[in-house]
Structures are given as C-alpha cells and as structure tokens.
Amino acid sequence: MAAIKLHDVTKRYADGTEAVKQMNLEIDDGEFMILVGPSGCGKSTALRMIAGLEDISDGELTIGDRVVNNLSPRDRDIAMVFQNYALYPHMTVRENMGFALKLAKVPQDEIDKKVEEAARILDLSAHLDRKPANLSGGQRQRVAMGRAIVRDPQAFLMDEPLSNLDAKLRVQMRTEVSRLQRSLSTTTVYVTHDQTEAMTLGDRVAVMRSGVLQQVDTPRVLYRSPVNIFVAGFIGSPAMNFFAATISDGTLKLPFAEAPAPSGLDDEGDVIVGIRPEDFEDARFAPDHPGGVTFQAPVEVVESMGSEIYAYFSFQGGEVSSDELAELARDSGIAETPGAAAGLAVARLSPESDVREGQRARLWFDGAKLHLFNPATGANLRQDSGDQAIAAKATQEAVQAETKKPGDDDEEPGETESPPRDGEEPGETRSPPRHGEEPGETEPPPRDRGKDE
C-alpha cells in the first residue's frame, strides 16, 4: 500500500491536444479516491497514466516513494480493473486470478491458497474452474476484482468497473467494492462518470473537466461548497438549478423572486444563483427559517416519487447559459429531462404537497443556502457557504484543494439532506436520488477519447 502523488502531470498527444493538464493530486495511503467527470474530461487518461498504460508527457508521478514515470506497468505493483474486465478468455477463473502471481513466480501452493481465499471473499469458490465465457456479468466483474485482490498490490486502479452491469447489480457491487476497499484498506483510484458512485464510494472525490482538476474534497464538501458552477452542476441529482440574477442595493433579484443579498458579498451586478432542488419547498411546509423567501410560480410538471415530489416550475428571463453547463447537459442526458428546457427549474417538495400541474403554486426557498457564482468565470463567490471555508482559489483553471485526511471533516452532524459522509455504513448511504432514473440506469458511458484510438 502506498500513497500516490501526481505533480503537474500532463498528457499531451502528438497533435498538441492536452487530455490532462498539470494535474496535482495527492492520494493518501489507503484512501479511496474517485476521479469523476463527464466523458472526455481526462479522468481515464489520468488513471491510465498512473497505471503506466499511457505515457506521462510532463510532470512527476510517485507511488510510495518511487517516481514511476518511466516504469512499465509491471514494475509499478498496481492492479487494475478494466471497464470491460479484460479477463483472459482462454483461462479458467482460477488461472485468471493466479496469472499475476504465476508471472511473479510465486510457488503454486501459495497461489492456490491466495486464489481460494480471494474466491471465498468474492463468493466465487464454486466457479473457480469455469471459463469467463460461462460466467454472468456480475461474476465476471468479481473475477476482475479477484484478479486485483490476490496480488495485494500497492494500489487498485479501477476504470469504471461497474458501468457494464445492470442497475440492480451495480448498486449491489457498489456496496461490495466499498466493503472490500475498507477491509483491505488498499489505496484505490476509481474512475467513474456517475456522480452517484462518486458520492457514495469515495473518501474524497476529484472532479475533472476538460483535463483540468476542478475540486478535490470529500463528497460532503463538494456538495455543499462547490468551487465553481461546473462542480455545482455535476454533483447532486437532480442537478442544481441555475438562474441569472442581479444584486443591487442589497437585494438579490431572481427571475421569480427577490431576496436579501447574502451578507459578506460586496459585489454588485450580475451573478448566477444556484439553488438545489431540496432547498425549495412548498410554502405550506416551509420550515420557519429566517432567510426563507416565498414566491409564486406556475408549475408545469409534477413528478411524484412517493417519498418526495419534483415540481418543475417555469420562470422567465433568467436562463443561464455557460459552456460548463452546456457540457454537463450534453454529457448527462439532462438535456432530455424536462428541467433542462429553458426556463424550467426543479424543486423537491414534501410528499404532502398538493401542487398541481398547470397551476400556480406558492413555493419557498431557503435564502441561506443559495450558491452564487461569477457569471464570467463560473467561480463560486461564496466559498464559505458551506460550513467550512475552503481556500477559495476558485478559478476555472486548476484548483488544488488542500489535502485533507478522509474522515476528519468537522461539519455538524445530523443534516439529513446532505450527501453521505464517509464513515457511514457503506451501501446504505445514498446520495440525493437521481431524478427520473435509477442510479444504475444510465447508459454505458461513452468511452473517453484517447482511450480507444
């Protein structure tokens, strides 16, 4: 086990395009780090550079205390789980799992012991002598995990390992992966495009966009204090609503309401306001909260999920368009959901609410939980909007979040709306449910560019 450090790591292709730009990331020993971002953001490339499958154009990569830039994959002592598992089809499960040990010239009886131990952990004992072709998708996935486990490597690298599973299995395996990682406490770098996986699995999550690291922090901090509009829109589901607004004379003018401008903000003029769906409420059920603002809006679509209601209300003249959001919409398929239609915002309401489609409803939002972004740079204007002030070097350029030991975040407990913090029971944790789709139902992700030329 070892820490992995990326220092200014850059991947530049022959044609000059940069897939990963000066990435700085320190992954602690035993940490579960998630690289997340839309397809083509460079997360897979970054992972493959750590694995040694992709050359590092610039910068320095260390695993443990060794600089591994020029080491071939086999000398890096890392294990990788591929998106398509890459099991050796001509070998049995046993041979697949023992292959690395055999190459390392481990004595056969020790190989057998380790393989059987891993098979027991992964519930594969009955299938050891079968070939991959005769296994189900979930079993293949477990064999791929087993192949990594038996080696007891410095680090696990996982490239969207769950994206080929169906929705139910994916949730199940997510728990499994989380449990395994915790029991083995092997440093793990896990690439995914699925923010639900990112939020539930990671000790820390690194959000990437266009090859640039946006923010690295615990899921909780990412959710509460996104460093810019991209992270804000990417993390959380349904996604945060964005409105163009102006601040003047201490008043924040939203398209549908006016609120007192948040304190500690000297700027006047245009801002982008982000409001998470759960920070809305039916005015009747609104908590008695200073800073709450009540407004009226026409409700276009109501989706009742049983435990909550999603109400899409329309507003005029405050649509936000930015490259970041356009990219998000394209990638996540949000463009197909009602909320993406220009001028619609989604509010998560109490299941008791009786809002009706086509009627005006009295809604409420929590003025204390607004996220404000600079319309030009997309940077969060209130880095302290969470309960923890992160160094706000929020530009669109590389953001290097300070390295924090996982689990030592000091938020006050008991806030149910926020995403899970680490240390909760794995598997029971759930991030805000993704609207309209099971976490696993998303289509298999488009492969990252540069991966399959």
Partner 1 sequence: MLWTAGIVAVVFYAMIPVVWLISLSLKTPATVGDKKFVPQDLTLENYTTLFEGGFDSPLLRPLITSVAIAIIATTIAVTLASFTAYAIARLDFPGKALILAGALAIAMFPPISVVGPLFDMWRTLGLYDTYPGLIIPYLTFALPLAIYTLVAFFREIPWELEQAAQVDGATPWQAFTKIILPLAAPGVFTAAILVFIFAWNDFVFAATLTSSDSSRTVPAAMAFFQGESQFTAPTGNIAAAAVLVTIPIIIFVLIFQRRIVAGLTAGAVKG
Query: Where on the chain is the footprint of partner 1 (CB under 8 A)?
Result: 51-53, 72-74, 78-80, 82-90, 99-100, 103-104, 131-135, 137, 140, 147, 151, 164, 452
By the 8 A CB rule, do 398 and 213 touch?
yes
3-state helix, strand, coil in the chain (%, to 5): 25, 25, 45
Smallest gap, in angstroms, from Cβ of residue 130 to partner 1? Answer: 10
Strand partners, 81: 158
Smallest gap, in angstroms, from Cβ of residue 2 to partner 1? Answer: 16
Distance CA 111, CA 151 (A): 10
Smallest gap, in angstroms, from Cβ of residue 22 to partner 1? Answer: 25
| Closer residue to partner 1 in complex, CB, 84/125 | 84
Smallest gap, in angstroms, from Cβ of residue 73 to partner 1? Answer: 4
User: Which single residue is written with the structure tokens 């959901």?
Assistant: 337
| Closer residue to partner 1 in complex, CB, 13/285 | 13
Smallest gap, in angstroms, from Cβ of residue 187 to partner 1? Answer: 15
| Closer residue to partner 1 in complex, CB, 140/193 | 140
Residue 162 tokens, joined: 């769950």
Smallest gap, in angstroms, from Cβ of residue 44 to partner 1? Answer: 12
Strand partners, 96: none
| Closer residue to partner 1 in complex, CB, 132/406 | 132
| Closer residue to partner 1 in complex, CB, 15/266 | 15
Pick from 52, 68, 6: nearest CA to 33:
6
**Burial class for 108, CB neighbours closer than 10 Å (0-12, 13-18, 19+):** exposed
| Closer residue to partner 1 in complex, CB, 85/234 | 85
Concatenated DSSP letters for 143-175? HHHHHHHTT--SEEEEESTTTTS-HHHHHHHHH
- Give the torsion sign (CA, 211, 215, 218, 220): negative
| Closer residue to partner 1 in complex, CB, 102/405 | 102
Distance CA 438, CA 154 (A): 34
Smallest gap, in angstroms, from Cβ of residue 215 to partner 1? Answer: 29
| Closer residue to partner 1 in complex, CB, 89/358 | 89
Distance CA 228, CA 84 (A): 33
By the 8 A CB rule, do 431 and 192 touch?
no
Backbone angles phi and psi of 434, in degrees to 5:
-80, 130
By the 8 A CB rule, do 43 and 450 touch?
no
| Closer residue to partner 1 in complex, CB, 73/298 | 73
Smallest gap, in angstroms, from Cβ of residue 48 to partner 1? Answer: 8
Strands annotated E in 197-354: 204-209, 212-217, 241-248, 251-253, 258-260, 269-275, 280-282, 292-304, 309-314, 344-349
| Closer residue to partner 1 in complex, CB, 51/399 | 51
Sequence letter at residue 418 = S
Smallest gap, in angstroms, from Cβ of residue 446 to partner 1? Answer: 15
Smallest gap, in angstroms, from Cβ of residue 163 to partner 1? Answer: 9
